[in-house]
Amino acid sequence: MFVETLNSGKLVSISPSDQQNLFALVEEIHYSQSNKEQNEEAISQIKMQKKLIPPELKDHILEFVNSDYSYLLLKNLPQTKCDELLLLLTSLVGDPFAHADEGSLIMANKPIKTEEAQHTTAYFTWNKFDLHTELPYIQTPPDFISLYCVNNVKGGYTYLSNVERALHLLSQDQMIELKKPQYTIPIPPHFGADKKQEFKRPLLSIVKGRPSLRIRQDGLVSETEAGMEAAQALQSALDMVREAIELEPGSLIIINNHLSAHGRAPFRPTFNHEDRELHRVYLIEDVNKFGKNYDPIHRRIRGF
């Protein structure tokens, strides 16, 4: 196993024997899902295997969860049983969930040629995705998101920006603005929500002594000019500290959604089996944080 610090993240490259061990843990499990529900039996089988994850790898994942690292990049994972492996490795991080209005528990980030794709930025588009945090328009965003690379195209970079490093570039006054509940982050059209469900919130808060960011620039509105200026300064600061990773098939990245923003470069879609394809899951450390908005049977969160 090869371990290295990468800018604000950490890289763990799995040895061939651990790759085989991991594959053996999920080989007999068959996960399946639809838009609204998933095979819970497979999920509990996967959860039972988590104690058998090679100990050194397990320790790296657990250590990451409580660290200041923006992301953990795992390389050289098996390239079959991707969804089972994604659920297995992230089971050490939190519980997987989806938004009831968005779709399946594991989403395929893959270009879909539709009219809508020309006018929006989402998991099914191939335009540039500005640095953002995940689900910033819901009350309790995921603690982590994880992406498993099934396939990539040349230049299909994933971007990451460490929040702490970006905040160092801002003034005290700008930080004060970011902490005011004066920002509305629009809900993207594919959720089918209306404006009444949009709330005013701060972009920055401090949770247990660490920053927690929510940001999505497209359509962001502030009550005040000073608020808007601070949000723009924040976006430029995130751009300045940006890191780029070209995920390879068999790589999995776990991103801390409080301490890091992420995005992606524009890429050329192929609309066939050679296309860029990342499988994405949202994770929460404690589902009780969702309160009554959470349906544990379906692992779905409702509302905004």
Ligand X SMILES: O=C(O)CCC(=O)C(=O)O
Tell me the sheet residues that pair with 212. 205
SS3 218: coil
Query: Applying CB under 5 A, which part among 126-134, 150-158, 215-223, 230-238 lies near Fe ion?
Result: 126-134
**Using rule CB under 6 A, residue 123 touches ligand X:** yes
Nearer to ligand X, 219 or 291 (CB): 219
Among 278, 281, 284, 301, binds ligand X (CB under 6 A): 278
| Inter-residue contact 138 to 304 (CB < 8 Å) | yes
**Using rule CB under 6 A, residue 99 touches ligand X:** no
Nearer to Fe ion, 60 or 99 (CB): 99
Indicate the pairing of strand 252-256 with strand 107-109: unpaired
Residues 126-185, interacting with ligand X (CB under 6 A): 129, 134, 158
Indicate the pairing of strand 95-99 with strand 300-301: parallel
**Signed CA dihedral, 255, 256, 257, 259: sign only:** negative
What x/- string results for residues 280 through 299 when contact with ligand X is judged by CB under 6 A?
x-------------------
280 binds, among ligand X, Fe ion, none (CB under 5 to 8 A by kind): ligand X
Angstrom CA distances, 277 to 117, 148, 188, 295, stand at 16, 9, 21, 28
On the 0-12 / 13-18 / 19+ scale of CB atoms within 10 A, 162 is buried
Nearer to ligand X, 45 or 152 (CB): 152
Query: Applying CB under 5 A, which part among 46-54, 107-115, 133-141, 168-176 lies near Fe ion?
Result: 133-141
What x/- string results for residues 235 through 264 when contact with ligand X is judged by CB under 6 A?
---------------------------x-x
Report the alpha-carbon distance of residue 14 to residue 11 in Å, rounded: 10
Number of residues that bind ligand X (CB under 6 A): 9
Taking the complex as a whole, the smallest distance from the CB of residue 190 to Fe ion amounts, in Å, to 13
Kindly list the strands in the beta sheet with 243-245, ordered across the sheet, starting from the edge strand earlier in the chain. Answer: 129-132, 260-264, 158-162, 243-245
Instruction: Please count the CA atoms within 13 angstroms of the CA of 222 that sit on its side-chain side.
Output: 19
Nearer to Fe ion, 144 or 290 (CB): 144
**Using rule CB under 6 A, residue 10 touches ligand X:** no
Sites of contact with ligand X (CB under 6 A):
109, 123, 129, 134, 158, 262, 264, 278, 280
Q: Give the residues lining the site for Fe ion (CB under 5 A).
A: 134
